[in-house]
Structure 1
Amino acid sequence: SDEAFNANPEPTKPRPRKDFETLSKIPDRAFKKLLVSHLNFEINEDKDCRILTRTKGASHLCVILSITLCGDFVIKVPARASTWRKEDAWNLRSEVGTMKFVRKETSIPVPRVYAWDDRNNNVIQAPYIIMEFIDNPGAHTLWFPTRKGGLGFTYKGCNEPSPALEAKRQTFLKSLASLMAQLSAIEFHKIGYLNFDDPKARPRVTHYYEDKDDVPTRVPAFSTSKKYWTHIAQYLHSNLMRSGKSYDLHRSYNTGMLLFLTQIFATPPLDTSKAHPFTYTETFTLTHTDLNLQNILVDASTGAIAGIIDWDRCGTKPRPIGPTSVPLFLQEDWLYWVDWDYFQSKPRLEYYRNCYAKYMMEATWSEKNGVGDGILTLKSAIYHAALEAL
């Protein structure tokens, strides 16, 4: 049948914001029809197009399709598709524009975007992004060996790499540092998401939307680091004060926590975001918010970066928590939610953080500005831990 799939029948009960159940009901034929509709040549949907796999992430469904003599493609569908709102559409437009911008302005291997829709009145009844499929393994293969039989991977032995594997890890770290350093060189004057409403102009930084208690909430753009940190701290404080505990000790504890965190973010280097100590104006840099092993694709033979994916929620941030920060997998000993039974030892984390900081210092150094943002890299895990505390 050529009829569009109806992913939004009359609901019998309120849907969760992330509704993978509805997405799982979209038939293969709908995804095939969608992809073929964006190709500029004749394709037989049944003979030449096939679904390779459906992969569910934390916030998206990714459907990988193969076209005979053409290659492989990914259709990325937000998990919020069945409860889609105009605020979600705004964020998606920023994501697509940001991917194209980073791909154009840097050598970072961002997947090419072929088509997208921020509405749900289409053949799959959901917003989507169609992009190229980068057929390379995730960077976790350099840290965590594959289990026997190829089923999943294990953390055993990750702290004792062979010389060949260690060489690949070093290539990986150096490659990643050189790519992220390129983002630190692109400056903006506000903290927020990129706005591409004017296609002929350089993108502006404006507001964005976050889900707070499942309600899309507008977050304004901030012109200074102080305003950004104050906004986050005040939001935390208001949540704690609304937690239902009204006794004096609880309120005093919350007030004390707010004052303590405010002092942390009023202390250098978190209190400002300048490309050089002697510059007057703060500037901010584009930052990938989930730079972890599963979102970094590598050349299995060398360890070099082959692709960086999952650019949703990418926006500008203060430099101390910006793109020159150590990636998430090197922050494990500072992240409260990490299970210590499975991850790397602290000495190895310290070792690789030092390696990454060295490569970042080299990548950000210039005759004009000296070291650059690479000077922030080594202690960036601490800065992110302070942010996580909020």
Structure 2
Amino acid sequence: MADRESRQYAVAYDELFNEDNDNEYEAWLDVVLKPASIEYLERFVADKLGGDRGPVYYVNMARGSYNLVLQFRINDNRAPARLALRMPQRGFTVEALTAERLENEVYWMQYIEEQSTVPVPHIYSWAARGDAVDDHIGPYMLMDYVEGQKLHTCLAAWEASDDQADAVEKRKVVFEQLADFLLQLRSHRFDKIGSITRVDGGTWAVTRRPLTIDMHAQLASMPGFSTDGWPRGPLPYAKDYVSLATALRNHQMLCLRNINIPGAWNKKGFFDFQEGEAIDMERALKTARGRFLARHAMALPAAAAHLDESDGNDVDEHDKKPFVLFNPDLSASNILVDLNTARITALIDFEYTNAVPAALADDPPVWLSPKNFMRFLTLGFVAEWQILYKPTLDAFLAVLERVEQKQKQKQQQQQLPPYASELPPLSARMRASWEKRTFLVNYAIQRSELADTIYHDQPTLFPAVPEAVDGTDDWTQEVHTYEEYTRWQIDLYEADRKARHQKRQLGGI
């Protein structure tokens, strides 16, 4: 099982380019944590909260994938007692997207706080660009510091607990809250694909382009990544969103220098690339051919037909406009829970939230188990994970169905637009996504680093490449051209690696 084909298609970002990011981040962090800087930050937080709160004290820091979070406390027995100052990390965030990414998150958090009972940290002050940005700090968000353990920590603790009756009850309490929150988030409707701003009259509308995880991650992790063709505003049709996802996948294939270099995942979860003469070029070219086939198949219109509402004959009525709120980064790592009471204290990280085609928000939450879906998927063990996860999913869907029934009477008493009481309910759509494995197709659409692994692990989920294309002279030439391009990419990557190694030996770093 360790040598299964799908493992050849793992994507690990350019570790040489990331060396530069690491160096920039470490130099920036050293400056941020200097005593004089901490004192400045304490005064900054006190000033933004209001001058009558007394002294503010720095507590500690936490690092996320793209952001640094500094915790501060105020000893005056008034709320809030603790605050979080969040700043985009230097080195691992893209300067050209920093303001847009932060603004999007602020707007969605404010929208969710106003329009639902879903718990999100309250934002007291923020700045993304212009004169409001402090030169010493840069773009930032100052918000409530929310106590709680990450949900995945709680799930693991409850699974290992000696008191399983208590653990089952706590998991049920969490599931009931999540069911309510997901139903609330899924109920909001928008007329375009993208992110929101407040417009005239204080209402909210989609006025900005979608900013996706792929867009930011690839621009942050690959030298020479092109933004040509990126949308400048919101998208009117699902097919436009699919075209954007397809372009991002194809640009990744061309810009990620090490994308086809063979290697293996180590025990720490990192991908160890072959180097120098140890590179198995035959395997690299085989990977290139398989990757080219996967991306060609996923670019066919039928691959994402379930998202496209433009043809009423091909899609269900409930998959048509309007578009819905969806956070692809919602996971057990971004849900905070009181371990003792199982009360959800906050949902966090809304940077890549968008209004999207409805079918993307119909997938079951694959993160409700300590059995890490992304890890199983990356290693090509999807079938094994599905067996392990099925009991958890059944338990959650049973809870969701009960919550839906409780809300049904309330919904009928309210004057809601027809789409708000649509059928089938979310629980049925999630079950259908699971049974048809549509959720895997959606992951392939949204996460280009997983697309080829999913395709080769689950090829029947995607349209077959027409026989008139596969095997023709034109097809053979295209594949051969990409093989030669792969050789060039590997040579370029190896030259960079050797130059860096030589520089280190000479004491240049």
Q: TM-score range by the shorter chain?
A: 0.7 to 0.9
Residue 23 of structure 1 and its aligned partner are, at CA, apart by: 3.2
* Corresponding residue number in structure 2 for 1:225: 238
Task: Mark the CA change 1:383 to 1:166 in structure 2 (over 3 Å): closer, same or farther.
Answer: farther
* Corresponding residue number in structure 2 for 1:133: 145
CA distance in 2, matches of 1:174, 1:61: 31
Equivalent residue in structure 1 for 2:29, among 2, 23, 30: 23
- Kindly provide the amino acid, as one letter, of the partner of residue 25 in structure 1: V
Out of 28-37 and 319-328, give the one that drifted further: 319-328
CA distance in 2, matches of 1:60, 1:174: 30
CA distance in 1, matches of 2:380, 2:59: 35
For normalisation by structure 1, the TM-score amounts to 0.78
* Corresponding residue number in structure 2 for 1:257: 294
Any conservation in 1 of the 2:338–2:344 contact (CA below 8 Å)? yes
Out of 102-111 and 248-257, give the one that drifted further: 248-257
Q: Is the counterpart of residue 355 in structure 1 residue 395 in structure 2?
A: yes
* Corresponding residue number in structure 2 for 1:326: 365
Q: How does 1:300-339 map to 2 (within 5 A)?
A: 300-322=339-361, 325-330=364-369, 332-333=372-373
- Kindly provide the amino acid, as one letter, of the partner of residue 62 in structure 2: T
For normalisation by structure 2, the TM-score amounts to 0.61
Any conservation in 2 of the 1:136–1:306 contact (CA below 8 Å)? yes
Residue 372 of structure 1 and its aligned partner are, at CA, apart by: 2.8
For the residue of structure 2 that corresponds to 1:101, the secondary structure is: helix
The structure where helix makes up a greater share of residues is 2
CA deviation map 1:72-108 (0-9, x unaligned)? 1110111138977353212211211110000110110
CA distance in 2, matches of 1:306, 1:118: 26
CA distance in 1, matches of 2:70, 2:285: 52
For the residue of structure 1 that corresponds to 2:105, the secondary structure is: helix
- Kindly provide the amino acid, as one letter, of the partner of residue 287 in structure 1: F
Q: How does 1:134-173 map to 2 (within 5 A)?
A: 134-145=146-157, 158=160, 162-173=164-175
- Kindly provide the amino acid, as one letter, of the partner of residue 36 in structure 1: A
For the residue of structure 2 that corresponds to 1:370, the secondary structure is: coil
CA distance in 2, matches of 1:14, 1:199: 46
Task: Mark the CA change 1:204 to 1:65 in structure 2 (over 3 Å): closer, same or farther.
Answer: same
* Corresponding residue number in structure 2 for 1:106: 116
Query: What RMSD over aligned residues (CA atoms) do the two structures have, in Å?
Result: 3.8
Residue 181 of structure 1 and its aligned partner are, at CA, apart by: 1.0
* Corresponding residue number in structure 2 for 1:374: 427
* Corresponding residue number in structure 1 for 2:206: 204
CA deviation map 1:29-87 (0-9, x unaligned)? 12211111112342443xxx211211111111111110012311110111138977353
- Kindly provide the amino acid, as one letter, of the partner of residue 80 in structure 1: R
Number of residue pairs the alignment of both structures matches: 361
Q: Is the counterpart of residue 73 in structure 1 residue 75 in structure 2?
A: no
* Corresponding residue number in structure 1 for 2:337: 298
CA distance in 1, matches of 2:253, 2:246: 11
CA distance in 2, matches of 1:285, 1:111: 22
Task: Mark the CA change 1:269 to 1:295 in structure 2 (over 3 Å): closer, same or farther.
Answer: same
Task: Mark the CA change 1:253 to 1:285 in structure 2 (over 3 Å): closer, same or farther.
Answer: same
Unaligned runs of 5+ in 1: 1-12, 147-156
Any conservation in 2 of the 1:192–1:208 contact (CA below 8 Å)? yes
CA distance in 2, matches of 1:253, 1:349: 29
Any conservation in 1 of the 2:193–2:206 contact (CA below 8 Å)? no
CA deviation map 1:167-189 (0-9, x unaligned)? 11121122112101111110112
- Work out which of the two has the higher radius of gyration on C-alpha atoms and give 1 or 2: 2
CA distance in 1, matches of 2:126, 2:396: 35
- Kindly provide the amino acid, as one letter, of the partner of residue 139 in structure 2: P
Identity %: 16
CA distance in 2, matches of 1:160, 1:271: 48
